Structure formats: structure tokens, C-alpha cells
Amino acid sequence: MSGPATPPATGPLTGTTVLDLSRALAGPHAGMMLGDLGARVIKVESAAGDDTRRWGPPFVGPEDDPQATYFLSCNRNKESVSLDLKDDDGRATLEALVADADVLIENFRPGVMDRLGLGFERLHALNPALVILSISGFGHDGPESHRSGYDQILQGEAGLMSLTGSGPDDPQRVGVPIADLLAGMYGAYGVAAALAERERTGRGQVVRTSLLAAVVGVHAFQGTRATVAHEVPRAQGNHHPSIAPYGLFRCAGGQVQISVGSEKLWASFVEAFGLGDRVEGLETNAERVHRREDVIRIVEEAFAAYGPADLLARLDAAGVPAGKVRTLDEVYAWEQVASQHLRVDVDHPVLGPVTLPGPAVRFFGTNGAETTRLEHTPPPTLDQHGAAIRAAARGAADAGAGAAPAPATGGGR
């Protein structure tokens, strides 16, 4: 097949081709992560396009061609081709793409790919080296595998909402679709591992994850509270359940966050604010957690004399980890964010120059030179690259019609 319709990228996955058949967020986020690492990502959409193209407001751009900012958030560094997978021509084009690909991502409900004639056995018959990432809501097997998975439903079902909120009777969702995003991250991690194993075996495999698995996978110490200590963790607002003081505290004209995560830090904190005569019986973290309300009161009384800026400076001088709560406009205007390449500028075919949130991982060679992908492409318009991709797929299918089967040593690298 001919090369990509966009300039080649740099990164550890340069030369890897990914077919992204997924919709909404979990699968597209995984595909975008692989694209950030240098892979060529071909987004395969229906004639109507990914559902997120219509998720808004907000929409931006011209009234006759509005662009959903939701779609823009999870589809950078991709090409788009529109295919009807229920149609013979559409399936034939996809099969030609599969034969030349390294990775395929799908997040249809379990069984849908089989009904389309594109089950895992068929895909691996076309390309034994193909790594398939399959993301579901509740898992691909088990008594509730048939259920549709949507982020907020899984935040509740997987226990996250019971841990989030002002108190036990105030369950709250996280402010981003964290179940979707985590499933995408775990999926990309699984793909990277499967590609590494393929270097040894020459064969692909199926990587499965789910929104349920992704949330349970980040229960961390709250999970072991339940499974080992046999406690039932519940929401308790903006204070850490196992460390004190650690959380959001009021001060004059605002709030700051502090993290006193060791006894050494506690000693520094007590000295910095002259609290030696007020903290008897609070020498250990366990004592402070047990008397959390007393600790909060003492800390906020000490903070009442300081505005946020002065307080943060004092905490910094004392070596106590602290910070403020920024709005997103403040985050993207922050010089530290810019220094980490967490803003990327792209030229969108409809919107012109726009700024997107950037990738979270950077790479450096043994000589210290950065090898991170720094040039990014905008999220594609629907079928933007379709003509070139379909023509290349037809050419590859025609060229391979009489050829001997390729060895199972890789896809389109």
C-alpha cells in the first residue's frame, strides 16, 4: 500500500499502521495515543461519522460546517476514511487495509464484529501479525458482558462515584469521562506490549480491556481498604482518607491545597506556622487522621492570616508541597504547561489555526536529545483522506490477488 496521506511522523511507533474503527472516546483516545507515538492512524468511520462529531455544544466554526470540540479532543494525528462495513465493497476495502496494518482498534459491543464478518479469526486469517485492541463496557465475557458501557454509568457501577463527592450521601462523577480515558490508556499500554511480544513471536494477538476493568484497575489503596482491611471507603470531600493534613484548606480570600505526606514535612509545617503548642497528640499521621476535624480547624486558623499568594510562598519556603486550584484557561496559559509540550498548535482544514491539549509522554535519546513527536496533525474532517486510502487499498488488493501469502512477521511496517 502507498504511504500515508500526511507527512510521516517521528516517535517510537514510526512505521506502525493503526486502523481505528472505534467511536466516542475510549478507543479514539487509545488511537490518538498511538498516533502521538508516531504511528500512522487511519480512522475508519461510517457515512454519518463518529458520534462525537455531533456531541455539543460547544461547536466552533462556520454554521454550515460546525465542528464539535469533543471530537477535536481525541482525534489528532489521524486520517479519516468513510466505509460502510455492511456493504461488500466497504468490507473488501477494510480487509485490504487489515492485510497491511499492524493494529486494529474496535469498541463495538461484543459480537458485532462477528456479525459483520470481521471476527477475530477472520482478521487474523487476513493478517496473522495483527494486534487487535477490543474495548467493551463491562468486559467481553461474564454474565453482564451484553450491557452497553457509558462512562458515567461505569463510574457508578465500578465504585468511583462512591468515593467522589462532599460526603457519603453526595456521590459525584469525575469532571472528565475518566472511565473512557483510562480504558483508552490501558488499551494503548496493552497494544504496546503486544507489539513488543510480536517482535519475538512474529504473531499478533487480541488485547481486551473494558471501562469496568479500567476503573477497578485504579482503585489503588481504596481497593485494598475494601479487599484487605474489609472497610467500605466512602466519599469525604477534598481531604485524603489516609493522610492528614492533605487537601483543600481555606485561607484569607481563597483556598490552597497542601500535602503533608511525612512526619518530616509535618515538623516543617508546624515550625513554619508556629503551631508547636497546638498540636499535642497529633505527632503521627495516624493520630492526625483519627482527629482530622481538629487538624483542619488548626490549619485553617493558621492560614486565616494569609492570602493565597503569600500563603503559597510561605509554604514553598518551608518545603511543604502546595498549590492552588486553577481553571482550565489558567492551566493552558501557564508557562509550565507550555514547557512540557502540553499545548500543540495545528492548522485545521475548517477552523484554521487551533490549539489542542498535547500528549502526556516525552522521549529522550541516550544523548539527551528529545525525540518526542513535536509536529502534530489536526483531527480530520469526515472522509478527508478517503479517496487516497480507498485507491491505495484497491491497488494493494489487486497487487496481492495472485501473490503468495506473506509471512506472519508484521503488518504495514
**CA-based nearest residue to 65, from 352, 262, 389, 409:** 352
Question: Residue 175, CB half-sphere, CA atoms under 13 Å: how many?
Answer: 3
CA dist 349 and 261 (Å) reads 48
Query: For residue 173, what is its C-alpha cell?
Result: 462523577
365 C-beta neighbours (distance < 10 Å), count: 8
DSSP 307: -
Contact, 30 vs 133, CB < 8 A? yes
Which member of 20, 102, 180, 383 is catalytic?
Answer: 180
CA dist 4 and 42 (Å) reads 9
Q: Could you identify the residue written with the cell 513535536?
A: 374
Name the 3-class secondary structure at 256.
strand
CA dist 8 and 238 (Å) reads 45
- CA-to-CA dists, residue 149 to 113, 152, 278, 397, angstroms: 17, 9, 51, 36
Phi, psi (degrees; rounded to nearest 5) at 210? -150, 165
Residues 6 or more apart whose Cβ sits within 8 Å of residue 279: 270, 298
Secondary structure of 210-240 as H, E, C letters: EHHHHHHCCCHHHHHHHHCCCCCCCCCCCEC
**Is 50 tagged catalytic?**
no
Residues carrying an active site annotation: 180
